[in-house]
Amino acid sequence: MANKKGLILCVCQGTCPSFNKMNTLEVLNAIRREKLVDFVALHPQLCADDGDQYLRVLLDNKDIDKLYVAGCDPLMQKKMFRETFEAIGFDAAKHVAFDVRNLTTEQAVSAIKDLIKNNP
Ligand code: SF4
């Protein structure tokens, strides 16, 4: 079925201090419990080669209509993933990037909820 929405939380290998304040699994659980998206995922490094492969395999599913990526700076994300999206024909406008670095679990959940609500 078309119009699937997913959230990926990307956390710089889990070693970056920017993500130390949040419980990443709890952030994802909070979003999935409320069924705000059709799927959630945690990826350690989307900007690495295997992250690129992950995006290619995932987005080969043409039913995905919106991909929220919570991680680093949105502009950085846009630049890093541009080539991949172009290569697989995924409209970059369907990628909603946002920065959750240095947020607590509660702050990240709240920011992600707002973002999904404002970018349906
Ligand atoms: S995409 Fe951003 S958040 Fe993810 S590993 Fe790369 S720099 Fe870190």
> 10-54: per-residue pLDDT in tens?
999 999 999 999 999 999 999 999 999 999 999 999 999 999 999
Cα gap 99→108, rounded to integer Å: 9
User: Binning pLDDT at 50, 70 and 90, where does residue 92 land?
Assistant: very high
Domain ranges of the chain: 4-118
Cα gap 86→48, rounded to integer Å: 17
Nearest alpha carbon to residue 3 among 66, 92, 84, 71:
66
In sequence order, the 6+-apart residues with CB closer than 8 A to the CB of 87 are 56
Average pLDDT value for residue range 74-103: 97
pTM over 0.85: yes
Structure tokens of 47? 């900007």
CATH of domain 4-118: 3.40.50
Average pLDDT value for residue range 79-106: 97
| pLDDT value, residue 1 | 59
Pocket test for ligand 1, best of 46, 52, 78, 83 (most atoms within 8 A of CB): 46
Question: How far does residue 12's CA lie from ligand 1's centre (Å)?
Answer: 5
Neighbouring-strand partners of residue 71:
99
